[in-house]
Chain A
Amino acid sequence: MGDVGVTHHVLGVAGSYPMLLALWLLPLAGAVICWAFGPQLRAMAGWLVSALVGASFVLAVLSWRDGTQSAAGAAGANQPLFSWMPGFDFGLLLDPLSLLWTFIITGVGFLIVFYSIGYMQGDRAFARFFAYMSFFVFAMLTLVLSDNFVGLLVGWGLVGLASYFLIGFWFERPSAVAAARKAFVINVVGDVGVMLAIFVIIVHVHSIGFGDTFAAAGTLSAAVVLTICVALFIGAAAKSAQVPLHTWLADAMEGPTPVSALIHAATMVTAGVYLIARCAPLWNASHEAQLVVGTIGGLTALLGAILGTAQWDIKRILAYSTMSQIGYMIMGVGVGAYEAGVAQFFTHAFFKAQLFLGAGLVIHALSDEQDIRRMGGLWKKMPFAFWVMLTGVLSISGVPGFSGFFSKDEVIYGALQHGHPWLDAIGIVTAGITAYYMFRLLFVAFLGEYRGEAPVHVGGAGSWIMNVPVAILVVPSVAIGGALLFGGDASPWAHFFAPLFAAQAHLAAAQTPAPAISENFTSVIVVIVVAIGFAIAWQRYATATAQRDAVDRLRTESEKMPAVLTNLFYFDAAIDVIFIRPSQALGRFFGQVLDPRVLDGAVREIVVTAGWLGTLVRSLQTGLLRAYALILVFGAACFIAYYAIAGAAH
């Protein structure tokens, strides 16, 4: 135990927290049971996993007091687990930040798992799906609850695995298989970044704990902190689909829609936001790191939004919007507006899960049709889905009063407050584009006349299983922003995160001069830009003229789409040319030329001669040869045995 001279800084009040342990392990139990007894459980698998994840959520709510306690400067609860290796002590940390993520992972996770019971009905690998989902929840909880970098890395890798399994869930589809592999490999690039950060931390801090590292942040040199932050950000960028590591996210839509809702919208892809918010003390110590991360976040927000305007697949539109929204979050936490970035995560989890599940209702009813050009007029056929999508679109677009409005506003103003006016400008422009492409989605899919061939199946027994979770999600996605975020520094949100981020906010306020324009003024500009985006979408897709010849208009639009957009800004092509092809060419050269012709050449002649001899001997008498071998080995054995007995006799 603690020897002389070393003081350990542990985050949270150390103690025994059985509820915390239980809420972490229940989903693992669900995964193991579904994996081992899948064929026996059948439909029960869905109910079992829902119950376990729901129980986790209840325990998370009951752990509220543990997670928000503070004593002697330590906020939250710390449950020591075990010592993996000497020096690698694992523990769980529940503080306001991980509590928030736990709420979303288990709460929104419960609703999505429940919804999946309906969505996945009749799939031939029903139990396997729930085993993966449950495993994902466990892995994600490991990521956000770990009190050290190695535990976080374990969770980081395991969520990547769960994501791989679920993207490639329908593994008879070659496109799903390729998408799963791409997602995994890019995420390993991220894992490797986190590993590098861990090496630097261990060498300079001699510990893997968050507490020790943050306590030492002030004493490390600027270059070291910058290295750690950049390495961590490689991890964050891969996981959270930031430019240029974003290309896997749109392909990940090959997975079943509830997977997209849970993993590729609400939770896993926000792990990068969590990581940066968690490591706030490190980012606070490096202005350069803040600049890098804030800029990439802003770029991703803009790029994702632009790509969102050029998609026809309903899930891909939502995927690019996710990329763009995470760009906002990363921009927020990157520039130091941690509360704002985290708030954006919070509201986004609700409205994006709602949008994906709403899209799932449509896809389910149209027998897997995902192209919005072959939809249209669905508001009459599927009024419930329409209202769900409408409220989701209003919230994500940042229409005043809806949750998305409050969080996005905080991020945009936060950029200004922390001295990045041009990131603020990017945020405003992106808000307008967001309104445009989200209303485009809504108008093309739901207004006008139905343009598809697939019959629309709505309702039926058991449709409540899918409708109820979506309906529940509508409430927070509309109202929770106003309830928690309204009021700036006096809001419940600011109060909740005060123990973690308040010091930073005061510091920033002292360092950066107050911006020339007020928060309210920014909000007005954002609202105007959003209105413009909405108006353009209305003009192009919703007016009576646009509706009349919708089929032709949409076809013209797809034909005239600029190549740079249909090729997604050539990121995939660039990765292919720069990394994939050269390594394959090198592999072929090594394997087919260098190995057999050059390196092996020296022994080739001897081997060929000997090989000829071998064939000769073999054709003469193979049995004889084996007998020789056995005699040789047996002889050696006798030899040793003799000395053994002789030795024993002494």
Chain B
Amino acid sequence: MPLVLVSILLPIVAGALLVTLPRGDRVLSRAIGTVVAAITFGTVLAAGTGDWSVRWLSRPFESAFHFGATPISYWIALLLALCTACAVAACRVERTRDFVALLLALEGTMLGLFLARDLLVFALFWDLMLVPVFFALIGWGEHPATAWRYFIYNFAGGLTLLLATAAFGVIYGSTDVIGRGGAALAGGWAPWIYAGFAFAFLVKTPVWPLHTWMPPTYSGLPSPMVSVVSGVQSKAGLYGFLVIATALLPAYVHQYATPLMVLGGISLIYGAVVALVQNDAKRIVAYSSLSHLGLIVIAIASANPLALDGALVYIVAHGLFSAALFLLLGYVEEREGTRGLPRLGGLGWMNPRLGGALCIAVLAALGLPGLAGFAGELLILIGVYQAGYVWPVIVALVAIVLASAYMLRLYQDIMNGPQREDLPIRADLTWLEGLAVAPLLAALLLIGVFPKPLLVNAAITSAQSGTLP
């Protein structure tokens, strides 16, 4: 069986088999889950850009089960496999077996999404990947309304995506078009198709004002799952813009660049300003995501090659640091029984390793030079400025200053200050917990220093040494 298919099926099948294990054996299910996720990482790595295809429909339009990584989805798939492995390894929730099964199902469905080379398959997995999150919200979340809000919003997006896909298929004659040049569509129904795609992508990212499902979802989900959802699932929309909208409907991405940029800019500032005053640690990271991903939306709207390269670097960087942040905040919550900043403080004395890890994640999130976030941010802003958009750059620079304020507040209010009498004193990170976040933090440093492999845009890699386009 081709490796790319193995990487998609393995976690799904393993997840289904896991449910047959005896209930309550958390160590075993966690171990199996971690091994499966690690093997999946290996197969994604080994599969490279090899693809596999079988025709599925020939009427009313051609469609195929076509899977294979594009240069962009290769990195996102690796990110996904890494985040899942880390999340499963550290998973310590009730009913571990079922939860790990859902996490693996989430990984498989999302790999299906990112590795799909056919639009219809992409749309199918778009809906499928909502299911594990929905059930996790129902079974482990804080309020069922959150689950429905998540589902209704994203399913509505899935619906417009499906309609747009069908329309595209009928007009173009085939949906086997992802990562294949020369399939651009224009005129007639094309603007509506773009609108259908754009709505789905904007909801998923999310972008202001479609974001209200996101803060409760991110704060309500158990940490291991939210680290995958915020780290990778939120990138599905951006990925869609990068490889579907930009490739298939370039005229409309260009035509509607300004509204897209305005929405991105509003998200950027709105998220940052709200994050300044939130007291729930997870909500701070949720709103910071709104802000950070707004920057990527701006990059996509600018359509500048440097900015698009920066977008991929930043997609991976954000995936890494938001996954790490959510896992670490999960550790804090497990230890102290709260994630409210006013009730936390002074943990740094007894938890130097937890504090150090949180510090690195926070610094990556606020764009410290040397870590991955900085490389992405810098490239994006250079590109956007080069494309002639001055105001979005100024807005983004203001947001960078705000990010340093809310991210440091998050870190300091948890770790610094006098040791509090009313908080239980817990042991520092165990080696397993440390091992679960270490790859994420190491990858942040590695990509920060050597971002080169993530630059997939030919226009830049062919630039002569020492000169920028």
Contact = CB atoms under 8 A, between A and B. Distances in A.
Genuine A/B complex = yes
Interface of A: 1-3, 6, 8, 83-89, 150, 153-154, 156-158, 161, 164, 168, 171-174, 177, 180-181, 184-185, 188-189, 191-192, 195-196, 198-200, 202-203, 206-209, 212, 583-584, 586-588, 590-591, 595-596, 599-600, 603, 606-608, 610-611, 613-615, 618, 622, 625-626, 629-630, 632-634, 636-637, 640-641, 643-648, 650
B456 to A, nearest CB: 12
A87 to B, nearest CB: 4
Contact of B463 (A86, A156, A164): A86
Contact of B464 (A6, A606, A643): A6
B282 to A, nearest CB: 14
Contacts of A191: 400
Contacts of A591: 274, 277-278, 287
B409 interface: yes
Contacts of B386: 199, 202-203
Given A206-B469, A586-B273, A644-B9, 19 more contacts: A87-B463, A88-B468, A156-B369, A172-B349, A177-B412, A188-B400, A195-B381, A583-B276, A584-B277, A590-B270, A595-B274, A614-B144, A629-B102, A634-B13, A637-B13, A637-B16, A640-B65, A641-B9, A647-B53
B52 interface: yes
Nearest to A153: B369
B393 A603 contact: no
B152 A610 contact: yes
Q: Size class of B's contact patch?
A: 35 or more
Interface string B432-469: 00000000000000000111100100001111111111
A192 B397 contact: yes
A200 B465 CA distance: 20
Contact of A177 (B56, B287, B404, B417): B417
A2 B147 CA distance: 57
A171 B109 CA distance: 45
A207 B8 contact: no
B204 to A, nearest CB: 15
A611 B416 contact: no
Q: Interface majority SS on A: helix, strand, loop or mixed?
A: helix
Given A192-B401, A590-B270, A640 B467 contact: no
Given A172-B349, A647-B52, A86 B461 contact: yes
Interface centre among A611, A614, A630, A633 (most CB of B within 10 A): A633
B465 A603 contact: no
A89 B270 contact: no
Contacts of A648: 1-2
B370 A171 contact: no
A453 B102 CA distance: 66
Contact of A643 (B65, B275, B374, B402): B65
A154 B464 contact: no
Nearest to A205: B468
Given A583-B402, A644-B9, A614 B145 contact: yes
Interface of B: 1-2, 5, 8-9, 12-13, 15-16, 19, 52-54, 56, 65, 98, 101-102, 105, 108-109, 112, 124, 128, 131-132, 134-135, 138-139, 143-145, 147-149, 151-153, 208-209, 211-213, 215, 270, 273-278, 287, 346, 348-349, 363, 366, 368-370, 374-375, 378-379, 381-382, 385-386, 393, 397-398, 400-402, 404-405, 408-409, 412, 415-419, 449-452, 455, 460-469
A608 B468 CA distance: 53
B54 A643 contact: yes
A633 B131 contact: yes
A593 B8 CA distance: 42
B465 A89 contact: yes
Contact of A157 (B368, B416, B417): B368
Nearest to A88: B468
Contact of A583 (B105, B273, B451, B455): B273
Given A607-B152, A637-B9, A647-B52, A185 B348 contact: no
A199 B273 contact: no
Contact of A633 (B128, B405, B415): B128
B9 A647 contact: no
B266 to A, nearest CB: 10
Contacts of A641: 9, 13
Contacts of A643: 54, 56, 65
21 contacts: A83-B465, A86-B452, A86-B465, A153-B369, A157-B374, A171-B415, A181-B412, A185-B405, A188-B401, A195-B378, A199-B382, A207-B467, A587-B274, A591-B287, A599-B211, A603-B152, A625-B139, A629-B132, A634-B12, A644-B52, A644-B65
